[in-house]
Structure 1
Amino acid sequence: MRLYIIRHGETKLNALGCLQGWTDEPLNKSGRDLAVITGEALKEVPFDLVITSPLKRARETGELAVAASEAFFGKKIPVIEDRRLMEFNWGSWEGLCCLESNFEIPDPNYNSFYTDPFQYQGAPDGESVADVMKRTADFFNELIHNPAYEDKTILIATHGCALRAMLNPLYENKDSFWQERVPYNCAVTIIDAKEGQAKIIDKDRIYYDESLCFDHYKVVSDNVKS
């Protein structure tokens, strides 16, 4: 089994630096463009299936990223949705902005989402990072132990925190949740899995010009939060 795990393309809320979570925001033009460029680079990959978060930005990214492969091989690639691939749920904080220039999060401990994510609890009516790790691990372990997918090539379209949570057990440094940053939009990690064992072949690869990479989310200074 070979897995191509992609973070969705950019959305309006990404560009504004706002918490997106379960908000069902579609891709913006830049997000669609990057997904298409990524798909062109992967057009000779014989995808058998797309598994995606049901949120629009992930599903649209998945469909755009396999469109060139569908044309190349002359076949339609099925798409299935799995809610376990959804992003971190911010609850009532959804849509609030979190950059130094527009910070709105009512949480004095917000920085720990980046500096101590394994312990971060999030909004009272949302999720913790531990919750996301549990549901994504459930998805991933079920997938790599599924004999029906043993010889398949699968694109998985998901989100930044969900991707890091799901792949944490495979990273060389498991203590670093974010692996230095939130994955760039449309970054792809390639994984080989056999007999329930998985390993990373390529990590956070981008297939577009590096000048288009943008880190939308960063730790904010304490004086902004106070």
Structure 2
Amino acid sequence: MATEVYFVRHGETMFNQLNKVQGWCDSPLTVKGINDLKITAQALSQVHFDDMYSSDLKRAIDTVHLMKAANQVSEIGKIKKLPEFREVFFGSFEGDDIEGTWKQIALAAGIGPETDVTKIINQVGIYEFREATKKADPRHLAENKKELDERMVRAISVLHELAVGDKRILLVSHGDFIKTLAIKYWNQSDGLHDIIFPNNGSVTRGILHENGDFEIVDYNVDAENM
């Protein structure tokens, strides 16, 4: 039996509001973030889920509990936290000013002091952007394309094992991670170039097939339009 997976991006956080790099580092949801999530939670309140999961970062955990509390048709027990679905790791840049970080990455990619991440990726491609991030990181801890791809494959494998027998599940993850999943598994992506960044509280829907294959079928959708 195939399992339908509703990926929800966490709500806006303090670091989102302050334009700081936020990967594995964490910051609390803002009032706006919570209010926006309440709209998503209400829109999904009549959707039955067999289980709910989140990444192990607090902004995702807080988000999934809002989804659980609002749902009127599901009986969800303890929510399992999955570190495999954490945000992309930006290494030494975690918590830094976001435009200053993009500038350093652009310089490492050889294109000059650009601060618009979309323009950087459009020029060098998403894979070279990942490599430049690791190169620019003074400690070279940031995830590159290979490391992130291996983690995504591992994440889907873990989810496949957990979801056996489930018809539909909800999983709260993060913007860059969900976007990278879509680049790899969405048939409307060519797998090479960047796509739009998902909104806070948006829903991306995937199908996890019984044989372990995975595909994205809807991306960055307002929950009210599901």
Greater shift in the superposed pair: 44-53 or 104-113 = 104-113
In structure 1, the partner of 2:48 is: 46
In structure 2, the partner of 1:83 is: 83
Q: Is the 8 A contact 2:48 2:74 kept in 1?
A: no
> Within 2, Cα distance between the matches of 1:165 and 1:183?
10
In structure 1, the partner of 2:113 is: none
Structure 1's unaligned 5+ residue stretches are 210-226
Size of the aligned set, in residue pairs, is: 202
> Within 1, Cα distance between the matches of 2:108 and 2:63?
32
Structure 1 runs, 4 residues or longer, greater than 6 Å off: none
Query: Of 55, 66, 75, which aligns to 2:68?
Result: 66
Cα 1:18–1:7 change in 2 (3 A) is: same
Q: CA deviation at 1:78?
A: 2.8
- Note the 1:25-174 alignment, pairs <5 A: 25-69=27-71, 72-73=72-73, 75-99=75-99, 103=100, 106-107=104-105, 108-109=107-108, 111=117, 114-115=121-122, 116-119=125-128, 120-121=130-131, 122=133, 123=137, 124-144=140-160, 146=161, 149-172=164-187, 173-174=189-190
Q: CA deviation at 1:208?
A: 6.3
Q: 1:91-125 CA deviation, whole Å, 9 max, x = no partner? A: 221111123xxx35544137586332212222212
Letter in 2 for 1:84: E
- Is the partner of 1:149 in helix, strand or coil? coil
Higher helix share: 2
Q: CA deviation at 1:176?
A: 4.6
Q: Is 1:202 the counterpart of 2:209 in the alignment?
A: no
- TM-score normalized by the length of structure 2: 0.79
State, as a whole percentage, how many aligned pairs show the same letter: 27
